[in-house]
Every structure is written in structure tokens, then in C-alpha cells.
Amino acid sequence: MSVITVNFSDVINSSAPEDCFRQYVMPTTFKIETLLDGKDLIDSHFSYFEKASEQFALCGIGVNKIFELASGEEISSLHDRVRHALSGTVVRPAQEISTITEPTVLGGFRFNKNTKPDEIWENFGYGHMILPKILLTKRLLNKHSDETITFLTISPEVSSFEAISILTQLQKLEASGCSDNSKLMTVVTTDIDGEAWGSSVKTISKGVRKNQYRKVVLAARKTLTGKFKIASVLGSLRRSYPECFLFCFSIPRDGEGTISFVGATPELLVSLDENIVKSLALAGSIGRGMDRSTDTEKALILTRSHKDIAEHDEVIAEISDRLRAITNSVSVEQTRLRRLNNIQHLSTGITAQAGNESNLLKLVEVLHPTPAVCGAPREIAWGVIGEHEQFDRGWYASPVGWMNARGEGEFAVALRSALVEDGKAWLFAGNGIVAQSKPEVELEEVRLKFKPLSDALVGAQDGR
């Protein structure tokens, strides 16, 4: 693969004031994805969030400021601190362009704010938002164009020299590493004990039938060992699941190297754009068929399944009720079938008008966790999860996303995800357990949900 290099000294004005945000337009030859290969070779914070189907991506390098949560602290407590940090002066690009971008933070939060992170999640803490030293933002030039534009934003107190050095180093590392196709054989070790899983499904399902709770989402974890390259993982996920949210959050280990939380999720938790709030109910799943006939047959089974419809309706009702508490004019769209590469879901969009109390982080706080990833009632489901899951979810099934200086942004639910370090990866997936759940069916479904990350990590793709 040929690499088109950029002389960043030609892009960045070294005489610009350094006490403010400075923005530049990158050359059209520059591709934000080209920095991903270099990312694997540096020990630095790295924050990435992408919607390939909408030609939108954010790539944050380093840490200018980090806004961390403490144990039990509410997500919304970060709002004022983040908005203050993003409120500084912005020196816009010299070129005349039809769109702008704002200074932005990226990050995520822990599934359960009241439990302590275990050893593999300790670097991620209870959650944080990061203002990177350097932020690259790719977006469409306007709503009526397929042309994209990439902005470079340098944070206050980051010198032009440092910014040029970081970007140049990443570009050199990418160029030197692009021809390295070496792989090690990957050994799969599963943490799913079929007997234990079946026992938990039976116990939880029995609790639903006894009206102790309405639903509990039971997650599973398995491990892979081998040589992993995050850029390759993201590339595979982008090709196979372009309609999903792609994310990667890398944090330096206390010793050496980095640990990365990476995934491709179809589930929007909440977005805020101007005054419009959007969320998504995604619950009820079945695999894809081998051909059009069997695929249609499976879709009909899903859309006629009383179990899946009831589970989906529970999520719609809970999200709608929580939004009504802090927003106005909540509207539920028609349920449709959401088809992904290897699985199909029942999917319902929910919209609302932002109210006086509905800043983005407050919306995240109120909606997380939804019944789609936790269960209902929420507090009881949390307790049942703790009894049956013998591992820490960490950031799995939690909000990951971004927020800009206007308070707008987007958070997805971190499904189909893995925690990856140099020689090991921990994969996560889960199912909603209800009264009619059958252990063998649930085991087959959760294994299906492991497939996107498992394929990406071993370098395989569906249909290959």
C-alpha cells in the first residue's frame, strides 16, 4: 500500500497564539484512517469514534485535560467542567468553508458506577471524558454533498511544534508499519461454561416467571490470545459493519504498552443535535439466513415472536418514560427490522425535544443502562447480574461517545466489544433473559454476538 504523506508544517501556523483552540483544514489527500496504523506503535491516549455510513469520524491523540468520575459520582457532574474547558476562544481556519467544527471531548463510562474496577479495567476507572491534545474531525462538507472535509484542532497550551511532532511521528510509524503483515496463530479460550450459563438462564427465567423482575441481561466473556493490531481490527469492523458505531479508547498501562477498548455497536443510546434528542430501542434478535429465502424466514420468526416483541416493547416503554421526565414531545417511530452482517434486530427510533434539564450528559445518565443491556426493574436487575456474572463488565454495555462545545454530541452503547492488549483480548456479549428463555437458544445467540469481534481479531471476515 502506498502512503501519501503530509508535511504538517505546511498546514499548521507555528506563529498562531497557543492560549486558544487553533483549527486547520487538512489537505484532501489526508485520510484520518491512516493514523490508525501508527497508533499501534505509540504509548499514548488515543480516542476514536466513527460512523462510517455517515462519513463522520473523530480521532483524538494525547491528553490536554481529563475529566474523571469518582466511585458513585453521577455522569452529569462532568457537564459544567467540560463545557467550561471547551468554551475557550477558537481561531478558525483561514480558508472560506461552508461548515465548521467545535472543540470536542471523547470518552465513556463504567457499566456500574458503584462497583470497583477489576485488574483488567483499572486503567479505565469509573469513566472519563478526554480533551485531546490534537483532534482530527472528518465530516461531510454539507448535508447535500458526498464530499468530506477533515479539520485539525489543537488544544490550548499545546505548542504548534508539539502538534507537528506528534502527527509526523504517527505518519512515519504508519508508513514503516504498513508492510508488516506478520500474524501469530490465535488461540481461542472461552470463558463460557455451557452448564453454568444454562443454570443461570434457568434461574433468571424462573425469577421472571415468579414476578421477581421482568428481565435481566446476562453477559458472557471469552478470551483470545495472539498478536493483535488495532488498526486491522477497526478496518475489518468498518468493512463488515459500516452502519455501526466504531470506537476505540486506548490508555497507557502503568507499566508499558497500552490497553484498548474497541468495538462496533449498532445501538445508539442518545444524541443531541441542536434541540433534537434521539434514542434507539434495540432488543430482540435472530441470526441471518444462508440465502434470501432462509433470511426472510428468520426475519418472519423474529417479527412474530411473542417473546422478542415483549422484550422489545419493554425497552421502548422504559426509554420513552425516562425521556418524558426531562424532555418534551417524545415520539416513538414504527418498529422495523435492523439487518447487520450476521444478525438482525427489532429496532425502534425514539425522538424528543430537549427540555431545560436535558443537557447531553444528563440524558446519558438518565438513560443508562437501558433494559436492553441491564433489565427491568433496573436496580433489581443490577443485583441479579452481580450474582450470576463472575467477571467485571467495565465499559462493556456502557455509554461511549463525544460532546462538543455547544453541548451537542452522541453516545452509543458499547456492545460487540473487546478489551485488547498486546497478547490478549477479552470479548463481551450478552442476552436478555425473560420468562420464555431457553438455555440452548440463548447460548447459540450469545455465541453469534461474539462473532463480529472474534472475526475481526483473528483477521477473518464473514463470507471470506
- Determine whether 215 is an active site residue: yes
Helix (H) or strand (E) holding 204: helix 194-209
Higher pLDDT, 229 or 14: 229
d(CA 48, CA 61): 9
CB 332 within 8 Å of CB 340: no
Higher pLDDT, 42 or 75: 75
d(CA 6, CA 163): 13
Give pLDDT tens digits for 301-312: 999 999 899 889
Mean pLDDT of 313-321: 95
d(CA 416, CA 264): 6
Interacting residues of 434 by C-beta distance below 8 A, sequence separation 6+ = 205, 208, 214, 215, 307, 310, 311
Which of 127-136, 191-200, 369-378 comes out lowest in average pLDDT?
A: 191-200
CATH code of domain 187-229+267-458: 3.60.120.10
pTM flag (> 0.95): no
Q: What is the DSSP string of 206-221?
A: HHHHTTS-SEEEEEEE
Share of the chain above pLDDT 70, in %: 92
Higher pLDDT, 368 or 311: 368
**Neighbour tally for 276: CB within 10 Å:** 12
d(CA 398, CA 390): 18
Cα-to-chain-centroid distance, residue 303: 27
When mean pLDDT is compared over 34-48, 75-89, 227-241, the highest value belongs to 75-89
Confidence of residue 182 (pLDDT cuts 50, 70, 90): very low
Mean pLDDT of 233-253: 92
Confidence of residue 95 (pLDDT cuts 50, 70, 90): confident
Share of the chain above pLDDT 90, in %: 62
The identity of residue 272, as a single letter, is L
Confidence of residue 275 (pLDDT cuts 50, 70, 90): very high
Within 357-434, strands assigned E span 375-376, 399-404, 409-413, 417-421, 424-433
pLDDT at 230 over 50: yes
Place of cell 456502557: 398
Confidence of residue 42 (pLDDT cuts 50, 70, 90): low
Confidence of residue 40 (pLDDT cuts 50, 70, 90): low
- The 3-state secondary structure of 430-459 reads EEEECCCCCHHHHHHHHHHHHHHHHHHHHC
Helix (H) or strand (E) holding 365: helix 360-367
Within 110-201, strands assigned E span 127-131, 134-140, 148-154, 187-190
pLDDT at 460 over 50: no
Q: At what angle do helices 439-458 and 194-209 cross, to 10 degrees?
A: 130
Confidence of residue 172 (pLDDT cuts 50, 70, 90): confident
Q: Please tell me the predicted confidence (pLDDT) of residue 194.
A: 82
Torsion of CA 388, 454, 190, 109, to 10 degrees: -30
Which of 111-120, 222-231, 413-422 comes out lowest in average pLDDT?
A: 222-231
Kindly name the residue from 39, 51, 133, 215 that is annotated as catalytic.
Answer: 215
d(CA 456, CA 240): 9
pLDDT at 8 over 90: no
CB 372 within 8 Å of CB 282: yes
Cell of 139: 465530516
**Cis status of the peptide bond prior to 17, with omega within 30 of 0:** no
pLDDT at 17 over 50: yes
CB 234 within 8 Å of CB 262: yes
d(CA 167, CA 232): 20
CA-to-CA dists, residue 446 to 220, 349, 381, 438, angstroms: 8, 24, 19, 12
What mean pLDDT value characterizes the chain?
Answer: 88
Q: Please tell me the predicted confidence (pLDDT) of residue 38.
A: 67
Confidence of residue 174 (pLDDT cuts 50, 70, 90): low
Give pLDDT tens digits for 434-448: 999 999 999 988 888
Q: Where are the domains of the chain?
A: 8-177, 187-229+267-458
d(CA 423, CA 372): 31
- Determine whether 278 is an active site residue: no
Interacting residues of 426 by C-beta distance below 8 A, sequence separation 6+ = 120, 221, 222, 223, 418, 419, 420
d(CA 412, CA 267): 6
d(CA 348, CA 161): 48
Kindly name the residue from 50, 174, 267, 442 that is annotated as catalytic.
Answer: 267
CB 155 within 8 Å of CB 103: yes
